[in-house]
Structure 1
Amino acid sequence: QLSSKYTHITLDNRTEYVRLAINYRLHEFDEQVAAVREGMARVVPVPLLSLFTGYELETMVCGSPDIPLHLLKSVATYKGIEPSASLIQWFWEVMESFSNTERSLFLRFVWGRTRLPRTIADFRGRDFVIQVLDKYNPPDHFLPESYTCFFLLKLPRYSCKQVLEEKLKYAIHFCKSIDTDDYARIALTGEPAADDSSDDSENEDVDSFASDSTQDYLTGH
């Protein structure tokens, strides 16, 4: 009716046109919204949803759009390095300097999601593991690696904070593929991808949990 009734907007019909346009935009997705509501009602009684604001409900379901580093630090554990080591201090300083968008990209790189859970309890025992390995030689020539299934970040022993920041920023902005890494290598070389655990005796306790079909990782080399 909106498009067929008014082929031209004039001073005389502008008010009616605006009223119809607003009404159309407010109700153009009524059918889809009703389907979403019906689906949610099968999980949560709809009357209970009125107890929360839209922001509160979004935060409960998706986590906070802000990335609080104190929460990430509280679930961090370290392998192959002490928490007081310079490399770890550089890492957290770089994370502090990141914008919220960059922190979200970092989470996408290391965990396959863009938001943190709301509280420590919501992590359900899942630690953020930072593992530092000596197999990268020379270390400044390598990018970080991540195993998204295990919330695991592998870092070379970078020589300075500047190199760490440069490599980490490159990784989070350009290393976004998760499931297709091994397939891409097979397609290019005709050979199955090498098993990373064979060169990494320090990480056997982690890699032993990962089968070929479940090992999601991002590599920069």
Structure 2
Amino acid sequence: MSNINMGEHVHGTSSPLPPGTQRLLPFIEAFFVLCEKLQANISIMQQDHAIVTAREVKDSAGGSASLTVSCSEDSQRRVDGAVTFARAYFRSRIRQQHEQQLSGPLRISVRRAYVLEDSYNQLRMRPSQDLKGRLNVQFQGEEGIDAGGLTREWYQLLSRVIFDKGALLFTTVGNNATFQPNPNSVYQTEHLSYFKFVGRVVAKALFDGQLLDVYFTRSFYKHILGVKVTYHDIEAVDPDYYKNLKWMLENDVSDIPDLTFSMDADEEKHILYEKTEVTDYELKPGGRNIRVTEETKHEYVDLVADHILTNAIRPQINSFLEGFNELIPGELISIFNDKELELLISGLPEIDLDDLKASTEYTGYTAASSVVQWFWEVVRGFNKEDMARLLQFVTGTSKVPLEGFKALQGISGPQRFQIHKAYGAPERLPSAHTCFNQLDLPEYTSKEQLQERLLLAIHEASEGFGFG
């Protein structure tokens, strides 16, 4: 696994900021205000780009394809440059905090068998300023001196225990590869204090440039970033329920008399990860007696998403963020999006492309289809970051199963990587259904068109393009 160290960007080359950059930080911060506006306009750019592409496809002139590719490559270079700049800026801010830290090393002594309890007891009451010091770990009964290796081992051991189901703090959802707070954590003594501690650990790992072998749900990354979740994020939790909500938005609900601004106990129990003690929940005051109409169905869907992905675990989210933001301010981490934050926390995965190809199933295509062969040729030319983006796009996470891609999990068990033929206009972007590890790939007319469309999708596509 490639490290994302404080002095490196993800391509592995050194990227320290030049001397004297500190005095330019106000201007850099102003630059990120512009970046936010650029991000907000990406969807508009995509629509404009799709229109241009469609227009160029109709044009039989020889230069049309090259115009389309150059448009996409220019857009991709702008996004890549902004992301690289964001990482450099993030690390420069972290280095500043390290340099301003005046206290000594942060020393802890833990027992391997009780790494969670010992770490929790020794770190939870320490002032946040102490946490910025260099971590020095000792495993009791062992003579090893921490020159960095023991710290890395401590992070791995601790994260393994924190996210074990026996701890009751986090639960896996969807494909059983991603975590978010467990609504039943209330049965764990001092559970909110533990969530604050976990927030500190994740932030400390970012602060120290250490990687954690943990992958959160897309909605939980959004909570860390302060980004509003949407009903699209429910697909990773329950695709059938997501389809019901999507159907509501696309069809007339006037003839559904019992649809009100509430969730009944059985419905909530099913969605909220088999929570054992639930009651009917009103999505708004008096919701049991308020019918959902054509005019209010979007409000209903938004409130359902907020309840399932936020309100049901709001105390846990708040406690995690309280600990996390002691080290990493919200305005600093918010320069990333959810997919970039995953790679920042967990690092770039080692993806065996031959293993992925051997474990892929096809619908509408075969392994001999021209589009499929072009796809693998294009992907073989990807750098490690684009490979991670592709895996995120199709499966919802960049995590690779320990047993290889034959053990890839879907919403209801083992589910291999899928490539389905997408019917319709050939200039469409690829789309994905992460709960089924499914890539819907249109029948493009050339390898160059496939490459351009696929790169645009994994770099810039949002929910409107099928990112589940």
How far residue 163 of structure 1 moved from its aligned partner, in angstroms, is 0.5
**Which amino acid is the alignment partner of residue 173 of structure 1?**
H
Alignment map for 1:114-193 (pairs within 5 Å) = 114-120=398-404, 122-123=407-408, 125-133=414-422, 135-137=423-425, 139=426, 141-177=427-463, 181=464
Distance in structure 1 (CA, Å) of the matches to 2:382 and 2:451 = 10
**Contact persistence 1:75–1:126 (CA under 8 A):** no
> What is the match of residue 71 of structure 1?
355
**Is 2:370 the counterpart of 1:98?**
no
Q: Post-superposition shift, 1:38?
A: 7.5
Q: Distance in 2 between matches of 1:150 and 1:41?
A: 24
SS at match of 2:356: helix
Residues 98-149 of structure 1, C-alpha deviations (whole Å, 9 max, x = no match): 111101111111111012212245325311110113x312x0x210011111
- Please report how far the alpha carbon of residue 65 of structure 1 lies from its aligned counterpart in structure 2 after TM superposition: 1.6
Match of 2:365 in 1: 81
Kept after mapping to 1: 8 A contact 2:429/2:453: yes
User: What SS is found at the alignment partner of 1:158?
Assistant: coil
Going from structure 1 to structure 2, the CA distance change for 1:136 and 1:123 (only over 3 Å counts) comes to same
TM-score (norm 2): 0.28
- Contact map agreement 2:360 2:418 (CA 8 A) in 1: yes
Structure 1 residues 37 and 65, CA, compared in 2 at 3 Å: closer, same or farther?
A: closer
Shift of residue 165 of structure 1? 0.5
Supply the distance in 2 between the matched residues of 1:41 and 1:79 (Cα, whole angstroms): 36
After TM superposition, which residue ranges in structure 1, 4 or more long, deviate above 6 angstroms? Answer: 35-38
Letter in 2 for 1:58: D
Distance 1:68 1:104 in 2: 11
Q: Which amino acid aligns with 2:371?
A: L
**Is the Cα contact below 8 Å between 1:67 and 1:115 reproduced in 2?**
no
1:31 to 123, 131, 138: 123
What is aligned with 1:191?
Answer: none
SS at 1:153's partner residue?
strand
Q: Runs of 5+ in structure 2 lacking a partner? A: 1-99, 109-119, 125-154, 168-209, 215-345
* Counterpart amino acid of residue 86 in structure 1: S
1:218 alignment counterpart: 467
- Alpha carbons of structure 1 residues 159 and 149: separation in structure 2 relative to 1, 3 Å: same
In structure 2, the partner of 1:51 is none
Q: Deviations over 1:138-175 (max 9, x none)?
A: x0x21001111111111111011111010000000111
Cα separation, partners in 2 of 1:102 and 1:36, compared to 1, 3 Å: closer
Paired position in structure 1 for 2:213: 58
Aligned residues: 150
What SS class does the counterpart of residue 117 from structure 1 fall into? coil
Deviation of 1:84 after TM superposition, in Å, equals 1.1
The answer as to whether partners of 2:430 and 2:439 remain within 8 angstroms in 1 is: yes
Query: Could you tell which deviates more after superposition, 65-74 or 116-125?
Result: 116-125
Distance 1:64 1:19 in 2: 29
* SS, match of residue 88 in structure 1: helix
Distance 2:442 2:459 in 1: 18
Any idea what SS the aligned residue of 1:154 has? strand
Secondary structure of the structure 2 residue equivalent to 1:136: coil
Q: Which residue of 1 aligns with 2:229?
A: none
Q: Which amino acid aligns with 1:146?
A: A
Computed over aligned residues only, the root mean square deviation of the Cα atoms, in angstroms, reads 4.1
Normalised by the length of structure 1, the TM-score is: 0.55
SS in 1 for 2:441: strand
Q: Which amino acid aligns with 2:424?
A: Y
Distance 1:37 1:110, change over 3 A: closer
Task: After TM superposition, give the deviation of residue 58 of structure 1 in Å.
Answer: 3.5
Distance in 2 (alpha carbons) for counterparts of 1:149 and 1:106? 15
